[in-house]
Chains A and B, each alone.
Chain A
Amino acid sequence: NAGVTQTPKFRVLKTGQSMTLLCAQDMNHEYMYWYRQDPGMGLRLIHYSVGEGTTAKGEVPDGYNVSRLKKQNFLLGLESAAPSQTSVYFCASSYSGQRDGYTFGSGTRLTVV
């Protein structure tokens, strides 16, 4: 009963480095989301996907790319990390996207120095 699993849990990057955050869900959910959480700002949507092979931009997409090659996985990439991308990143999934609540992963704490 894993739900939504995020890897890694922690990471420190140097400015300009790249990395990929992995999100995996085992609930056969169609919809998946990447949010970032910053103090006093709540959660802001970066990108989302409505199904395998689809992606779309959210509220704060700049500096990030995503891919959904398999239904169960949603990858978030940072091509050239910047200090402004220091944040806690959460992945979430949902069955219908409309009326269902989301299931969240436990988060990835990323620090860019």
Chain B
Amino acid sequence: AQSVAQPEDQVNVAEGNPLTVKCTYSVSGNPYLFWYVQYPNRGLQFLLKYITGDNLVKGSYGFEAEFNKSQTSFHLKKPSALVSDSALYFCAVRDSRRGGGADGLTFGKGTHLIIQP
């Protein structure tokens, strides 16, 4: 089975400071990992993904994420937070061993990111 955990319901960061939103995963094969952002009353927007290759992945809006296989983690980071980054962030995983490629991503419960001016 594939699963993903976001251990923090909420993360508070002052504007201009670096931010980290944590994500850990569990799969039997290799993971395909994704981050999405959701603004109020909107659908989820794709930020970035890790499939293979470099452990540091760069995405939209200045976000990046670091894949750590030994710690089974895929933390989302940004060097300098903006108030406009305040939103709900979801980590998602798919096990590369699952056949057919179509039975959906498994999402974490989400982390509210609050950037304080």
- Interfacial residues, chain A to chain B (CB-CB below 8 A): 4, 31, 33, 35, 40-45, 48, 50, 56, 58-59, 90, 92, 96-99, 101-107
Contact = CB atoms under 8 A, between A and B. Distances in A.
B42 A56 contact: no
A48 B102 contact: yes
A42 B107 contact: yes
A98 B32 contact: yes
B110 A42 contact: yes
B101 A33 contact: no
A104 B34 CA distance: 14
B68 interface: no
Given A43-B90, A106-B43, A58 B107 contact: no
Interface of B: 9, 32, 34, 36, 41-46, 49, 51, 90, 94, 96, 100-110
Given A40-B109, A42-B90, A104 B100 contact: no
Contacts of A105: 43
A35 B46 CA distance: 16
B43 A43 contact: no
Given A40-B109, A42-B90, A42-B110, A50 B102 contact: yes
B104 A33 contact: yes
Contacts of A106: 41-43
20 contacts: A33-B104, A41-B109, A42-B90, A43-B44, A45-B103, A45-B104, A48-B103, A48-B104, A58-B104, A59-B104, A90-B43, A90-B44, A96-B101, A97-B101, A98-B96, A101-B34, A101-B36, A101-B46, A102-B44, A107-B42
